Amino acid sequence: MKVEIKVPAVGESITEATIAEWMKKDGDFVNKNDVLLSLETDKATVEIVAEHAGKLTIDSKAGTVVKIGANIGSIDTEAKGTAASPTPTTEAPPPPPSSAPSQTNEILSPAVRRVVTENNLDPANIQGTGKDGRITKFDAENATAKQSATPVASPTPPPATQNIGEDIVRRVPMTTIRKRIAQRLVEAQHTAAILTTFNEVDMTSVMAAREKYKERFKEKHGVGLGFMGFFVKASIEALKAFPAVNASIEGEELLYKENYHIGVAVGTPRGLVVPVIRNADHLSLAGVELAIRDFAVKAKDGKISPNDMSGGTFTISNGGVYGSLLSTPILNPPQSGILGMHKIQDRVMVIDKKMEVRPMMYLALSYDHRIIDGKEAVSFLIRIKECLEDPSRILLEI
């Protein structure tokens, strides 16, 4: 009996995916639960496993964009055989001894294997930072960058007729996630009336609290005390005070969300992803920091799933980690607001008619003016500023 291999539903609002790589070849015998292929969606990479043992037939090649539910191959369950494996030679010499453990292609993840293969990397020369020393995609891409930056001696001199003035262009197909990012950014600009309002916050109190309690906090909760936790909790207080910022438009109706699912933008080698901390209002500051840490690890290892990034009601983006002093973040549809954090920089401020040097951060709130009035947007940002300049407000919810 032939069992069709269909593209599964891989997340809310995702209608298509790209076949990134087949791990098995056409005609191979596969066992149940063998990884057959990896799908790249606009949000994550997903591995598809065999639900039955049998002979594999591939109908759609790697690189093909396929719709959710489409048939991309089949498994003949009546075929007999064993899983494909390298054919041993009768007098194969033993492998050379090595002092360092190496990771063969068989135990690399699909995303890592693709980077290693495309760039002719030797896994034995890559230092793995994943669990049990496994090589992550981030490790492989770092190795690629180092390889490109290292000059390679060549015994053959360049041709005497080299055309120095010729333009050199390298064409690289856009990944599914990059295409989706581009599409959503344009969609946001065309469908929402986006405005941005700015303010600044004195980070003295937050920085003092971090300095005073960071060691005890980490000792008790097993996670560092970062800035993002304070911003998430401050944003929730502001969203409670100004519900329109937590709302969205659907047709001719306004949907006021009574849950606080906060998206936290995370940069990865594949592009920006926004995992969502669900019901963040029910989490302690430590709970928020733990959730952020877990997402950061998953993003680094390429393990962020579509469900991790679905259902957000408000987003926080931190351009400050890249050194940005001021920016205008773009909405993450269908959300109506996004908060932009920026670099903390010492500036001279007038405090009680005296000049003092304070650690200041510019804040930006981009919002959909169809839902949120200017007064609400400014008041929302001021509420965040108040909570950060006096963190006890967060605890007291005032």
- pLDDT < 50 stretches in the chain: 84-92, 94-102, 106, 152
- Final residue of a domain: which of 51, 76, 101? 76
Domains in the chain, number: 2
Q: Are residues 214 and 347 both part of a single domain?
A: yes
pTM over 0.85: no
CATH of the domain at 264: 3.30.559.10
In a domain, 92, yes or no: no
Coil/strand/helix, residue 182: helix
SS3 268: strand
The answer to whether position 36 is within a domain reads yes
- pLDDT tens by residue, 325-373: 999 999 988 899 999 999 999 999 999 999 999 999 999 999 999 999 9
**What is the rounded distance in angstroms from the CA atom of residue 15 to the CA atom of residue 2?**
25
Is 340 contained in some domain? yes
Q: Which domain holds residue 52?
A: 2-76
User: How does pLDDT run across 112-128, given as a tens digit for each residue?
Assistant: 777 787 778 888 888 77
Map residue 354 onto helix, strand or coil. Answer: strand
244 closest CA partner among 382, 371, 339: 371
pLDDT at 87: 41
DSSP structural state of residue 244: G
Interstrand relation of 337-341 and 314-318 (parallel, antiparallel or unpaired): parallel
| Residue 373 annotated among the catalytic residues of the structure | yes
Residue 89's pLDDT is what?
41
End of a domain among 54, 76, 98? Answer: 76
Supply the pLDDT for residue 156: 54
Give dist(CA 213, CA 219) in Å, integer.
Answer: 10
Check whether residue 214 and residue 349 sit in a common domain: yes
Residue 14 in any domain: the answer is yes
Sequential DSSP letters for 27-44? T-EE-TT-EEEEEE-SS-
Instruction: Please tell me the predicted confidence (pLDDT) of residue 151.
Output: 53
Domain final position from 30, 60, 76: 76
Q: Is residue 71 part of a domain?
A: yes
Provide the pLDDT for residue 376. Answer: 96
**Whether residue 341 is found in the same domain as residue 214:** yes
65 and 202, same domain (yes or no) = no
Is 52 designated active site? no
Rounded CA separation 97/99 (Å): 7
In the block, residue with structure tokens 């041993």: 88
Does some domain include residue 169?
no
The span from the CA of 117 to the CA of 299, in Å, is 22
> Has residue 134 been placed in a domain?
no
Annotated active-site residue in 122, 282, 369, 390: 369
Query: Can you read off the two tokens belonging to residue 178?
Result: 């990059």
Domain assignment of residue 173, yes or no: no
